[in-house]
Chain A
Amino acid sequence: MMNMSSIEVHSLSKSYNSILAVDGIDLNVKSGQVFGFLGPNGAGKSTLIKLLTTLIQPNNGKISILGINAIKQPLSVRKKIGVVLQQPSYEPTLTVEKSLEKYGMMWNVDKKIRKKRMEELLASFELTTIRKKRNEDLSIGQRRRVQVAREFMHDMDLLFLDEPTVGLDPSARRKLLDFLKNKVKETGLTIFYTTHVLTEAEYLCDNIAIINNGKIITVNSPNELKKTFGKEKTIKIHVTSTIEELKKLLQEIPDCDIEEDGGIIITIHSTNSEIVLMNVLKILNQNNISIEDLSAVPTNLEEIFLKVVSDSNASNN
């Protein structure tokens, strides 16, 4: 299962009024994984999702979804995928339970299975207490939960989730991520997941692609991305001294900043942070400056994302 590809894209392009939203993308998403898709606003994420879900047609390129030519057989693709779009979608006059039930019916799910799934999803997404409420009376977060839960009323091999946690509180967000993780584990479902919350991507995704200006800049696992782009490490040292004294003592050491923020903090940000740290500690020791606290800031996906996007913007300029 893992060796098969759920999504294969070659030289995919899409432009709107001469603006290139997706610019010659190549992508391969293996089955049975959560594939994260990150990018700043307007980078081309939603356009790519619309192309992959056959909502729009490309100008150039090839798309194969679950082995089906998505350009020639869009309906065959749509029968096998689930889609939770970025924008809210709901029927205002239907109750929560009726929304799930009717959505299952629209997907031709057997009545008994519909009923069973509906009860399971109401429980999993903590919708039981609001099951009789109409969609138009729900909060944004509750409506989002219904929208995501509804998609699990039908069977699918591939699920597209476009920023599904928007409007959810931290607890609901974590529960959704765990629900998705379990689904992938239990059913071998492939998930194509876009988000702006990078901790989510780090927690959930097996592989991550970063897109900017319609082009994919990098694709790798979160750990590999950290290894590749996270060579620069950050170390913070809180000391008892004065800025003037420290600036004088450390002026010869590169990659070393000193700032006052409720105390004096020395920040080392370097690819050779260990060596820089040793030199700093040596000077502090020689001058009898006491250290109050020393911490290494772990490289997170957010920093990598910002770096990758900023490098990409710089190279474009």
Chain B
Amino acid sequence: MHPIIRLVNRNITISINPGFLIWQVIFPLIYIFVAGFAYTSLIDNVSFGNKSLTYPAFLASGMIGFNIMNSTLVSGIIIWNDRRHGMFEQIMSGPFTRSHYIISNIVTIAIVGLISAGLITAVGYPVFFESVEFTLITIPLIIFCSIIGAILFGSIASIISTRIRSSEGFNVIINTAFLFFAFVSTAFYPASGAPQPLATIFYLNPLTYLVDIIRAGIFGTITEFVILEMAVLVILASILFIIATKLLTKLDF
């Protein structure tokens, strides 16, 4: 078995626990079915491309991107825990290279992100099935988002975990960063309804791009702007991945 596969196996074993499953599955479901329907009286139909979506359909599709981002927390937590509990040094004194370690983390979060996206898509399907417009590129687009989202947010989580030693500091910074990404984006509400400065900030947030692409895939509204968003995500993910890799490579023992 290849070293990366062995590390992925280990990463998944140590990451999957009841707390994580509740965070990954129960929390989004509450959002989709409780907040989605409760807020329908406040937020009427939402325009997306040439479509008019119900708020629950808009929210459920946003939750796919939100969940992909959340699953990347795994990467930061794995690296941080490995450093804190001596496993990083132990793994690096075994039959692995730093590249194996970094790639295995990205693969782990891509798998968790993909399963998570699939799960939310399946569970959310009854909510948005009226508007759904499956095309040949719907599934590839969701897979693309899972992988690019894993690399992008996983790199951010990795960068934070390489810089912060204390548990309090790590939790505060990672929660603040991910709270910003989650709520200053179009995952939960459309940019069109927000004040202009806030709507602009939404588009400085990669999660907005991610959920836009997912929605475009699900509701069949692919435009040139969506393709531009894909390009931006690829470039940003590449830059962050290089930074995360360099920082991990320089980690001292």
A282 / chain B contacts, CB cutoff of 8 Å:
none
Q: Is the CB of B86 within 8 A of A89?
A: yes
- Closest residue of chain B to A79 (Cβ to Cβ) is B95
CB of A145, distance to nearest CB on chain B (Å)? 15
Q: Is the CB of B253 within 8 A of A106?
A: no
B97 / chain A contacts, CB cutoff of 8 Å:
75
Q: What's the Cα separation between A78 and B9 when bound, in Å?
A: 20
CB of B116, distance to nearest CB on chain A (Å)? 19
For the complex, is A298 an interface residue (Cβ under 8 Å from B)? no
For the complex, is B41 an interface residue (Cβ under 8 Å from A)? no
B9, B13, B85, B91: the one within 8 Å of A92 (CB): B85
- Closest residue of chain B to A85 (Cβ to Cβ) is B89
Q: What's the Cα separation between A78 and B91 when bound, in Å?
A: 10
Tell me the chain A residues, 37-92 only, with Cβ under 8 Å from chain B: 50, 53-56, 75, 78-79, 81, 83, 85, 87-92
- Closest residue of chain A to B252 (Cβ to Cβ) is A56
A183 / chain B contacts, CB cutoff of 8 Å:
none
Tell me the chain B residues, 73-99 only, with Cβ under 8 Å from chain A: 81, 85-87, 89-97
CB of A316, distance to nearest CB on chain B (Å)? 27
For the complex, is A105 an interface residue (Cβ under 8 Å from B)? yes
B10 / chain A contacts, CB cutoff of 8 Å:
102, 105-106
A108 / chain B contacts, CB cutoff of 8 Å:
1, 6, 95
Q: What's the Cα separation between A53 and B93 when bound, in Å?
A: 6
Complex interface bits, A279-304 against B, C-beta within 8 A gives 1, otherwise 0: 00000000000000000000000000
Q: What's the Cα separation between A87 and B95 when bound, in Å?
A: 19
Q: What's the Cα separation between A175 and B216 when bound, in Å?
A: 64
A93 / chain B contacts, CB cutoff of 8 Å:
14, 17
For the complex, is A203 an interface residue (Cβ under 8 Å from B)? no
Complex interface bits, B13-36 against A, C-beta within 8 A gives 1, otherwise 0: 110010000000000000000000
- Closest residue of chain A to B95 (Cβ to Cβ) is A79
Q: A94-B14, A106-B7 are in contact. Are A56 and B94 (CB under 8 A)?
A: no
A89, A94, A98: the one within 8 Å of B90 (CB): A89
Q: Is the CB of A87 within 8 A of B9?
A: no
For the complex, is A107 an interface residue (Cβ under 8 Å from B)? yes
A83 / chain B contacts, CB cutoff of 8 Å:
90, 93-94
- Closest residue of chain B to A80 (Cβ to Cβ) is B95
A55 / chain B contacts, CB cutoff of 8 Å:
89, 92-93, 253
Q: What's the Cα separation between A56 and B89 when bound, in Å?
A: 11
Q: A56-B253, A94-B13, A105-B9 are in contact. Are A89 and B85 (CB under 8 A)?
A: yes
A78 / chain B contacts, CB cutoff of 8 Å:
93-96
Q: What's the Cα separation between A150 and B97 when bound, in Å?
A: 20
CB of B83, distance to nearest CB on chain A (Å)? 11
Q: A92-B85, A105-B6, A105-B9 are in contact. Are A75 and B14 (CB under 8 A)?
A: no
A56, A85, A106: the one within 8 Å of B6 (CB): A106
CB of A221, distance to nearest CB on chain B (Å)? 28
Q: What's the Cα separation between A107 and B7 when bound, in Å?
A: 10
- Closest residue of chain A to B9 (Cβ to Cβ) is A105
Q: Is the CB of A75 within 8 A of B95?
A: yes
Q: Is the CB of A92 within 8 A of B90?
A: no
- Closest residue of chain A to B89 (Cβ to Cβ) is A85
Q: What's the Cα separation between A55 and B95 when bound, in Å?
A: 12
Q: Is the CB of B95 within 8 A of A88?
A: no
A85 / chain B contacts, CB cutoff of 8 Å:
86, 89-90, 93
Q: What's the Cα separation between A55 and B89 when bound, in Å?
A: 8
Q: A94-B13, A106-B6 are in contact. Are A89 and B87 (CB under 8 A)?
A: yes
CB of A90, distance to nearest CB on chain B (Å)? 6
B14 / chain A contacts, CB cutoff of 8 Å:
91, 93-94, 102
What would 23 A/B residue contacts be, using CB atoms closer than 8 Å? A55-B253, A75-B95, A78-B94, A78-B95, A83-B90, A83-B94, A85-B93, A88-B86, A89-B86, A89-B89, A91-B14, A91-B85, A92-B85, A94-B14, A102-B9, A102-B10, A102-B14, A105-B9, A106-B6, A106-B7, A106-B95, A106-B96, A108-B95
6 A-B pairs with least C-beta separation = A89-B86, A89-B90, A83-B93, A79-B95, A87-B86, A53-B93
